[in-house]
């Protein structure tokens, strides 16, 4: 999966997050990288143990769980708590693949990383460089979104953050274990859900058209068949 979700946060919400982030503590990002990744990682991250960081993380997760587009595309089961990073002065994160299994920092639960996400928190014209470069399997894409927008992609994709040569690039990043492990099945369910929602808008949200009811039945039965919970 490779998809952009717009307006996850409003501009006011972005401004509030940035203001609160200034009250937390930044640490070297390499401290949280794996054995291989730490050699190609040069950035700063908010200290996950700081109370303000935890509050910001919970806020981002709550907003995502209120976003129908995100729910439809990710079908989230378990979140690794959203984290926050900052790139400046040539900071970068070289080509790497995210770890397949993560340990939840608060409860020790093992989390399979199906999806990775980056939520951009400052405007793209406020810094130079810093593109998120992702190998989608059908070519390399460079992503640099406006504040409040998110890119959602497979955790198994090779990706990197190009050097930030001027200004600061600030973002929240996270991993999600989906209800649907298989990326193709998850994509099919999202396409079916979007078709159902489009038909509801066309016929009216209270529509009882037989075909629409049958499509809804199909969606939920496939979800029941493929879900891992």
Q: DSSP per residue over the chain, as a string?
A: -EEEE--SS-HHHHHHHHHHHTTS-EEEGGGGS-TTGGGGEE-EEE-TTSHHHHHHHHHHHHHHTT-HHHHHHH-EEEEEEEEEEEEETT-EEEEE---SEEE-TTT--EEE--EEEEEE-S-GGGEEE--EEEE-SSSEEEE-PPTT-EEEEETTS-EEE--EEEEEEEEEEEEEEES---HHHHHHHHHHHHHHHHHHHHH-TT---HHHHHHHHHHHHHHHHH---
> What letters, b where the CB count within 10 A reaches 16 and e where it falls short, cover 8-36?
bbeeebbeebeeebeebebeebbebbeee
Is 209 labeled as ligand-binding? no
Is 112 labeled as ligand-binding? no
Is 169 labeled as ligand-binding? yes
Q: Hey, what are 117's tokens?
A: 């996400």
Is 96 labeled as ligand-binding? yes
Rounded CA separation 71/68 (Å): 5
Give 170's strand partners.
86
Q: Which residues are annotated as a binding site?
A: 96, 98, 159, 169
Q: Which residues are annotated as a binding site for Fe cation?
A: 96, 98, 159
Q: Which residues are annotated as a binding site for 2-oxoglutarate?
A: 169
């Amino acid at each position: 999966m490779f998809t952009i979700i717009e307006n996850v946060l409003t501009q006011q919400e972005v401004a509030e997050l940035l203001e609160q982030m200034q009250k937390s503590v930044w640490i070297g990002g390499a401290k949280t990288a794996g054995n291989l990744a730490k050699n190609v990682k040069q950035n700063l991250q908010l200290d996950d143990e700081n109370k303000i960081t935890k509050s910001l993380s919970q806020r981002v997760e709550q907003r995502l769980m209120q976003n129908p587009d995100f729910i439809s595309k990710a079908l989230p089961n378990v979140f690794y708590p959203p984290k926050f990073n900052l790139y400046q002065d040539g900071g970068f994160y070289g080509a790497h693949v995210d770890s397949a299994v993560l340990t939840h920092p608060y409860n020790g639960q093992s989390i399979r990383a199906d999806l990775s996400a980056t939520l951009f928190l400052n405007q793209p014209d406020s810094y130079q460089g810093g593109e998120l470069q992702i190998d989608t399997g059908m070519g390399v894409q460079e992503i640099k979104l406006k504040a409040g927008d998110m890119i959602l992609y497979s955790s198994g994709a090779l990706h990197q953050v190009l050097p930030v040569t001027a200004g600061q690039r600030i973002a929240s990043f996270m991993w999600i274990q989906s209800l649907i492990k298989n990326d193709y099945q998850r994509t099919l369910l999202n396409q079916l859900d979007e078709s159902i929602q489009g038909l509801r808008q066309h016929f009216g949200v209270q529509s009882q058209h037989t075909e629409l009811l049958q499509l809804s039945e199909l969606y939920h039965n496939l979800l029941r068949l493929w879900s891992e919970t």
